[in-house]
Amino acid sequence: MKVKSENKSKQKSKIKKAQDENVLRPEKFAGEKKSRKDIRKQKKHNAIATFILVAILIGICGYISVKVFFIVQSVDVEGSEKYSRREIANFCAIPFGENIFNVDTEYYQNALPESFTYIESATVQRKLPNKIKITVVDSVPTYYEETSVDGGTAYTVYSQSLKPLTGTAQKPDNLIGIWVNQEDENSLGVFNSVVELISDGGYDKVTQINTVQTDNISIEYDGRITVKLGTMLDMEYKLEMAYYVLHQKIPEGERGVMDATDGGNVIYRMTA
């Protein structure tokens, strides 16, 4: 019995010793905590160093792209029959050797129509790696407006988008006479809508358009038939009915006035 007691005592002593060795004493892990703090600090330093290195590399790439790549080597001009490629290119004066991303394309797109009477619009594009492309749309004389000047009559010629092109004392041939208040957004909007509808409706012989009074719109067809259209209400239908009467009911060369303000009841009367 004495032997067993001694053995138990020894076992308890060993267990207690092992427990004491496994106790999480602060002084035992101080070195480990310090080591973890150093690791976090080193990671932070590494991240900063990496960021700086990447920024330097980006700067170097940017410098190379500006000074070496994407340099303007050609300027192509197309689309105009009024002006030569040389005239347009010389006006823009885009320097060879300039980085294409430094070329202010929007500036040239606005400057070309403002500086050239017969340029309606321009598109300036960057074509990688080294080309600038300028595409021009010429202004086409389309409308004329009659005005009184010093007791006489003068005419202003406009493009397809109502850009003023020139003035003349003679009534222009083969253009559409217009009466529209260009300072009034409503009148101008109605005018543009009517132009679109008569174009879509196959009206190829319109000689006058009047939208000064938006509740009393009218057009002249072939210089001989005045078509009263009233307001924009049901305008597409009115134009369809008027077109039918113009081409099916009225003899070629006859002059007259058509009232299509009520699209469902077109009234026509011949005039001398």
pLDDT tens for 59-87 read 665 665 555 679 999 999 999 999 999 99
Quick check: 24 pLDDT over 50? no
Quick check: 201 pLDDT over 80? yes
DSSP 76: E
Handedness of CA 196, 201, 202, 204 (dihedral sign): negative
* Angstrom distance (rounded) from CA 266 to CA 231: 15
Whose tokens are 């909007």? That residue is 189
pLDDT value, residue 17? 57
Structure tokens given for 80: 């105009």
Looking at per-residue pLDDT, the higher value among 43 and 135 belongs to: 135
Is this model's pTM higher than 0.75 or not? no
Quick check: 34 pLDDT over 60? no
Read off the pLDDT of residues 232-263 as tens digits, 9 standing for 90 and up: 999 999 999 999 999 999 999 999 999 999 98
pLDDT value, residue 237? 96
**What would you measure as the largest C-alpha separation in the chain, in angstroms?**
150
Percent of the chain topping pLDDT 70: 83
Structure tokens given for 196: 């679109």
CB-hemisphere CA count at 13 Å for 126?
A: 15
* Angstrom distance (rounded) from CA 125 to CA 15: 85
pLDDT value, residue 32? 55
